[in-house]
Amino acid sequence: MDKTQTQPRIAPTTALLLALSYSTVVALQEHLYAPMLLPLLLLGWLHRALLWSIFKRLFWLNTLIAIVAASMLWQENYELALLVFLRSNFILLFVLMIFQGKDEFSIAIAMQRLHLPHKLTSIFFFTAKSIFLIKREFTLFKNTLHVRGFMPKTNLLTYKTMAGFVGILFIKALERSLWLQKAMHLRGFCGEVYTLEAHQDFSVYDTLLAFITILSLVWRQGALI
Amino acid sequence: MSCSVNIKNLSTSRDGVRLYENVTLDVSHKEKIAIIGPNGCGKTTLLEIIAGLRNLEEGTLELFHQPMHSLEDFKNMRHLIGYLFQDSDNQFLAPVVEDDVAFSLLASGVSKEETKLKTAMILQDLGISHLAKKIVYHLSGGEKKLVALAGVLIMEPKLMLLDEPTNGLDQAMQLRLVDILGRIDKSIIIVSHHKEFIELVVEKIYEITPTGLSCSLNLKDEHNHHHEHGDHPHTH
């Protein structure tokens, strides 16, 4: 299911389970321990060719974390600011790397295969589908603006165009939802997105990553902070 | 002859504007017809009425000799009607190709084993077995169309409604679709602007106008035989 063939294949189910476990434990721990870096190092090595783009994404995600940390620095709570900063970055980096090369549909597939409640899986899949289709409309409209020579400026035309842009996206979203309703009527949807897959293929990377991640979460030695 | 669709004096409006009046149409069992007309004339609306997605305003509609008065009447007919949307993306209800194709069967309570077998057969029949494990949204337009068609065919409907089936398809994919539709032994109603395509698939072409539906071309009598000036399908 990976989009790129060059990366090691980590099953969507493994990715989802490990991301949930790692995030929960790291978020709820009082301290951060050195072994928690182990899965990050392994994932970093697995995705070594893409590290630059992963860190670029992490940098942009850090703008929000920086605001939160800065508010603590303002209160002179340096230790808590560092803890929040590191904790958030550990979790973000793990999630970014483990889902590298996978899209929103992979997560929906993982939810299906983990036999999570049907309603939750259906809602997630249809949300992912809607976001995917709206994103396509967004790109199309953006390209149209480029092709037609639109240059954003601080003027009424720009504001009007942007307002129209948002309006069109709303209308398209509404149209898509109506078509989805029609498809559900015609195809007999009754609250469940089915799967024919009876078994899952796990690679050696799944086993290794699962082992290292679990080990990192239970081995509480060498508190970093 | 047994009739799949029987429409009498159908009139439809959209946003308060009358699209057409007194539309009368009979589609026999296993007959293939096409409906053409200008943009916005209500071709898709007509398909939606036949599929039970839109209420009947005026006139009568019978499907397989059963009168359809309200959308509730269509509930027992759902498995007999297959609808191929103009935009295949709207049709998918599962992320993986084989799961989407199998969707309607699983939803109607057919066992997983039987569904798996039928899905494999239909994918093979349409020549898309290699796509079985792929994510539907990552496919090309033509591949998506075939996957959506497989999802319709797996229910073995008696009536198929195809809305602009050649939209976004290249020449090779169109010819493949002609071949597939030619092999399907069911009543088919195609709505399309693509005259060359529909002439290869259907027996009759109807044109929709504000005053009704008129048969603009009957290809039933068309046949192939040898002429000295060359072989090609034609009408006498």
Per the DSSP assignment, residues forming a β-bridge with B163 are B191
pLDDT tens-digit profile of B4-41?
899 999 998 888 888 888 899 999 999 999 999 888 88
The answer to the question of residue A157 being in a domain is yes
What are the chain A neighbours of B117 within 8 Å (beta carbons)? none
Cβ separation A196–B85 shorter than 8 A: no
Q: Given CA atoms A30, A32, A38, A44 in this order, what sign does their dihedral have? A: positive
Distance (Å, rounded) from C-alpha A196 to C-alpha A194?
7
Whether A170 and chain B come into contact, CB under 8 Å, resolves to no
In the predicted model, residues of chain A with pLDDT beneath 50 are: 1-5
Instruction: Find the mean pLDDT for residues B94-122.
Output: 93
Residues A96 and A26 in one domain: yes
Residues A122 and A100 in one domain: no
Strands (E), B29-167: 32-36, 58-63, 66-67, 81-84, 159-163
Residues A31 and A99 in one domain: yes
The answer to the question of residue A139 being in a domain is yes
Range from A156-165, B98-107, B142-151, B227-236 carrying the lowest mean pLDDT: B227-236
pTM comes to 0.82
Evaluate whether A191 touches A122 at the Cβ level (below 8 Å).
yes
The answer to the question of residue A81 being in a domain is yes
The answer to the question of residue A2 being in a domain is no
Number of domains comprising chain A: 2
Nearest CA in chain B to A178: B90
Residues A83 and A146 in one domain: no
The answer to the question of residue A37 being in a domain is yes
Range from A48-52, A116-120, B174-178, B230-234 carrying the lowest mean pLDDT: B230-234
Residues A62 and A124 in one domain: no
Residues A93 and A23 in one domain: yes
Residues A207 and A122 in one domain: no
Instruction: Find the mean pLDDT for residues B155-172.
Output: 91
State the residue range of the domain holding A156: 117-186
Residues A76 and A121 in one domain: no
Residues A151 and A100 in one domain: no
How close is the nearest chain A Cα to the Cα of B133, in Å?
Answer: 8
The answer to the question of residue A110 being in a domain is no
Instruction: Find the mean pLDDT for residues B93-105.
Output: 93
The answer to the question of residue A192 being in a domain is no
Per-residue pLDDT at B230 exceeds 60? no
Considering only CB atoms, A188 lies closest to which of B90, B96, B104, namely B104
pLDDT tens-digit profile of B34-84?
999 888 888 999 999 999 998 888 899 999 999 998 888 888 888 899 999
Residues A133 and A156 in one domain: yes
Residues A206 and A98 in one domain: yes
The answer to the question of residue A34 being in a domain is yes
Residues A15 and A95 in one domain: yes
Q: Given CA atoms B84, B85, B88, B89 in this order, what sign does their dihedral have? A: negative
Nearest CA in chain B to A185: B53
Cβ separation A108–B81 shorter than 8 A: no
Per-residue pLDDT at B222 exceeds 70? no
Considering only CB atoms, B95 lies closest to which of A109, A133, A184, namely A109
